[in-house]
Amino acid sequence: MEGQRSLGAWAAIYATAGFFVLFAALPFAWMILTIFKQDSDLYVAANNPFVYNLPPTTDHLGYLFSDTLYLTFVRNTLIVAILVVIITVIASVPAAYSLTRLAGRWGEGLGIGIFLVYLVPPTLLFIPLSRVVSDLGLKNTIWSMVLVYPSFTIPFCTWLLMGFLKSVPWDIEEQAMIDGYSRLGAIVRTVLPISVPGILTVVVFSFALTLHEFVYALAFVSSSQSKTLSTGVTTELIRGDVFFWQSLMAAAAIVALPVALLYNFFLDRFIAGFTLGAVKG
């Protein structure tokens, strides 16, 4: 009886996990299937949508790369995302350390206040920020996004890092200072190496937040040459009431695949970092 119950429990766990895997993978599978469908196959209601009723085609991929500025959008997105990640890490790491280690009992309240800034909707801020961007002469350039995006990535990532740094014991930092290191030296040689998983989390989160941001990108940039993926793809492939569905799916899948791989690549590092002991013996 015990064996049967154990087998039934494992079967229920695998069935539940399998359901959620299929649920998560279905949108991506649907995108891949749609990319290679001909118009006369996709838009006929009588056709089975889960199979190729007509031979697959790569014409829509060709249209995406040759008749739109998709590669320009990818380049702009990567430039903006990388610069925003660098700015966010440089600002949020010392801010989180200061609030956690140096601000005393006020640090927690200040951290919550910083996080509340992240919760302000972009729809309330894009009008005054548009004035700032215009006065600085950055309108219709990718630098407007490099300037504005840290305003929501830094508060969130600072709050995120504060929670991680609280789990780093004081002992190792104090021991390094007893051994003759300055506070900065102790931070560089002890705190930062242990905090690498948290910093990687900040990198991935800020990269993802930048990648899918839409409101600011739409408000600050109207030139096609300076658009990012979030706005460029929609304006190029949705024209009035005409949707280029296959090319839209291709644009989404090409971006989604490396992001999914990035998350999965860092997942083991996050888990390893949180389970490793910070202090030996």
Q: State yes or no: pLDDT of 80 exceeds 90.
A: yes
Q: State yes or no: pLDDT of 137 exceeds 50.
A: yes
Cβ count within 10 A of residue 6? 10
Separation CA 51–CA 40 (nearest Å):
13
Q: State yes or no: pLDDT of 76 exceeds 90.
A: yes
More confident position, 69 or 173? 69
pLDDT score of 278: 39
Q: State yes or no: pLDDT of 55 exceeds 50.
A: yes
| Residue 101, token pair as written in the block | 């280690």
Low-confidence winner among 43-57, 73-87, 250-264 (lowest mean pLDDT): 250-264
C-beta separation of 35 from 253 below 8 A: yes
pLDDT tens, residue by residue, 213-249 = 888 888 898 888 899 998 888 888 888 778 888 999 9
pLDDT tens, residue by residue, 144-181 = 999 999 988 888 888 888 877 877 777 777 777 777 77
